[in-house]
Chain A
Amino acid sequence: MSVLTKTALINRLRNPEDDFAIVPLLEETQVDYGAVNLRLGLEFILLRKTRYPLFCPRNIDEHEIRKFQKRDSLRFGETIVIHPQQLLLASTFEFLSMPSDLCGFVLTRSRYARIGLVIATATYVHPNWRGCLTLELANYGEVPIELTCGSQIGQLALLEAKHVERSDEYRPIPIGPQFSCMCDDEEWK
């Protein structure tokens, strides 16, 4: 595995024939050495803390989980406050299309990390993956943080990988944050 240079990344992003795409790229300055800055999207999934006494994976089905969490959307430039110890699901503003020879890791930009924000815990992005990444925002700091939709809060570090075949299973293309699929786990069925 090796990290791509900034020039190589830009060249690939500009090539319309390449399956690698990060759109819309509002500024080319988002592209850095081996990484691309990602913006906070406009859709969120919030927890409804007052509805359920506890979350129990054994007793929850696909529809119940949607009552536990609620979807909300804002406009570009609007703000949302994340309080200490709060979890918020969001997505990247950019749509990612990963080619078969690249994989990535999502990281919190250090300037946000240093005030206690973590944007992703499931950080690996597979080759051939397409969609807007779901971000698990959590505030581990001690003061509320105001986040602006469209601001650059994360980073996608890109690495060259060996050519990976596409799987034969149905591949959804999410365009916003996704609910937990815990109820699909075989062990709970």
Chain B
Amino acid sequence: MERVLSERIKDIVLDKIFQFEQLVAEFESDMPRHGPVSLLLTVKTVLKVLRMYYERKLKDLAAIKEDNRRKEKLYINSRIVLGSIFNIHKKLLPFLNPGQLTSIPIEILGASQSLAAKFEDMKELELSFSPNYDYQFSLKAFYGVVDNLIDSLKSDVPESFFRKIKKRASNQGVCNSFAFVGYPWIERRSLLLPSLMVHEIGHLKESRENLCREFLPEKLDSQRVENLVKKIANTEVLSKDSGSGSQVKERQLTLSLVYPEDMIRQTVVERCLAITEKWVKEFVVDLLALHLLGPGYFFSFLELTDIVGMNSSGSDTHPSCIWRLTVMMDELEDMGYLSSDFKDGKIRCLLKILRKHLSNRNVIPDNESRAYENIVYHSLSKKSLPKMHKGIRDRSRTYSYNPHRYDEKVLPIVSVIKRGILPVQRWDRSRKKFDTFEELDIINAGWYVYKLEMSSFYKLVSAKDKKDQQNARQTLFNLILKAIDSAQTTKRWVREERIP
């Protein structure tokens, strides 16, 4: 049993690394021209190391004890993959010069699977082309995980390393030094993967350039902070007072009698600032990804929201989905996607409907249980968000995916997909040669068909019942991912004119 599982895990993990290497290679060829992510080279190098190291060290991995199928699934799905990669990291550390850890700019690129993936049985893991798409999942960056793991890593790191650098700084060094990549098995054949990976790539840029500092609010909404402090200070605490004999009296105390108000204020402010920083990071990265990929990113996030639930009210680390979508919609409007200059009426109309739908929703529930989030919301929405929109727009001017490009590049690819043909290249009459489609255009075309033209795709493959339609959706995703891969190979071929 152990041998069988190890083999399977090896396949899965190596396959994940391989898939991501391909993805990085695809984006790498496209990014320098569009702007921000030349730093992908770093990721690529780290991935090579991970792969090499993983292959060599696989035998050292702890054997899996679970023989229960359910445990096995969860194990493979999350812990083993991530755990194994951390294990590699752990083994790698002693071999690195401690100086390098602080000087090499490395990033953690996260995308780990939550355990919520609803695999019903093992077959889904074994099939490369799973036809089902109804899983709940999320993508997570895991800076925090590394932060927590640093203590366990310490034993493998030369002691001198920690003597010189404080714990926090060393964490940062590690966080900034490796790309850890993990994503759900099922996503490897999903259109969400390349789209949402752009968000994670955005984290690379944000982390390297420390963009969020620029957009943090100068101060929190003081009125709301004070209100919350007072509310907490006046919270009644029930205390038992021993009376004479067997009588026990109860008396009311407020929290302010136990903790000074200043201390409460400090705790509130610290928590709000921590939430603010994380939220600003997410907004910045969303906007970067939106400029890089255009409406495709918006649709991918919409799809994700659909899976995790529109009513998801956010967390300490991520703002609510509704708010993020609203911010992205504002940006799309500013980019010109809702204007009549944007030729494609269908997508403009869809965006307008979504805009109306979003405007009727509260971005954050205005209730007591979300008091901290409400302070952050009011602190950010006044000045920081407009500043952020402008700042990111200025930075991404050279590569921003504008409506003109969408009209010119995406719609021809859509017509190819609708005929069931792999969208890779097209004969260019004026240049008298085959022209290869750009990867970002292919992803956008994929989302266009998925969101607006799925019925014609069903018709093309004669998908009548629900099962066939699920298969057809997977077929579309396969086509898009294969097209990205083939476009990449074709470009490399044109450059080198031979098999490498």
- Using a CB–CB cutoff of 8 Å, the interface residues on chain A facing chain B are 13-16, 19, 21, 23-26, 42, 63, 66-67, 70-71, 73, 75-77, 93, 95, 97, 130, 132, 148, 150-151, 166-173, 175-176
Q: Contacts A24-B436, A95-B421, A95-B482; is A171 near B461 (CB within 8 Å)?
A: yes
The reply on B135 being an interface residue by CB < 8 A is no
Complex partner residue of A172 from B18, B436, B461, CB under 8 angstroms: B461
The reply on B471 being an interface residue by CB < 8 A is yes
Nearest chain-A residue to B487 (Cβ)? A24
Q: Residues of B contacting A24 with CB < 8 Å?
A: 424-425, 434, 436, 486-487, 489-490
Of B122-130, B217-225, B443-451, the stretch lying at the interface with chain A is B122-130
Q: Contacts A19-B419, A26-B493, A66-B126; is A172 near B475 (CB within 8 Å)?
A: yes
**B427-A14 in contact (CB<8A):** yes
Of B87-95, B300-308, B462-470, the stretch lying at the interface with chain A is B462-470
Q: How far is the CB of A12 from chain B (nearest CB, A)?
A: 11
Nearest chain-B residue to A175 (Cβ)? B482
Interface centre among B422, B463, B468, B489 (most CB of A within 10 A): B422
Sorting the interface of chain B by its residue count into under 10, 10 to 19, 20 to 34 or 35 or more gives 35 or more
Q: Contacts A24-B489, A76-B499, A97-B419; is A71 near B425 (CB within 8 Å)?
A: no
Nearest chain-B residue to A66 (Cβ)? B126
CB-defined A-B contacts under 8 Å, sample of 19: A16-B427, A19-B419, A24-B434, A24-B487, A24-B489, A24-B490, A25-B434, A26-B490, A70-B11, A76-B492, A95-B422, A97-B422, A130-B421, A132-B482, A170-B461, A170-B463, A170-B472, A173-B478, A175-B479
Q: A63-B123, A76-B489, A171-B461 are in contact. List 18 more A-B contacts (CB 8 A).
A: A16-B426, A23-B425, A24-B486, A24-B487, A26-B490, A26-B493, A66-B127, A71-B128, A97-B421, A97-B422, A132-B482, A166-B462, A170-B463, A170-B464, A170-B471, A172-B461, A173-B478, A175-B482
**B468-A170 in contact (CB<8A):** yes
- Scan B208-248; emit 1 where CB is below 8 A from any A CB, else 0: 00000000000000000000000000000000000000000
Q: Residues of A contacting B425 with CB < 8 Å?
A: 23-25
Complex partner residue of A170 from B15, B123, B421, B462, CB under 8 angstroms: B462
Near A by CB (< 8 A), chain B positions 150-181 give none
- Scan B483-498; emit 1 where CB is below 8 A from any A CB, else 0: 0011101101100000
- Scan B418-440; emit 1 where CB is below 8 A from any A CB, else 0: 01111011110000001010000
Q: Residues of B contacting A16 with CB < 8 Å?
A: 416, 426-427
Q: Residues of B contacting A75 with CB < 8 Å?
A: 22
Q: Residues of A contacting B99 with CB < 8 Å?
A: none
CA distance A15 to B427 in the complex (A): 7
Q: Contacts A14-B427, A16-B426, A24-B425; is A173 near B486 (CB within 8 Å)?
A: no
CA distance A12 to B379 in the complex (A): 61
The reply on B260 being an interface residue by CB < 8 A is no
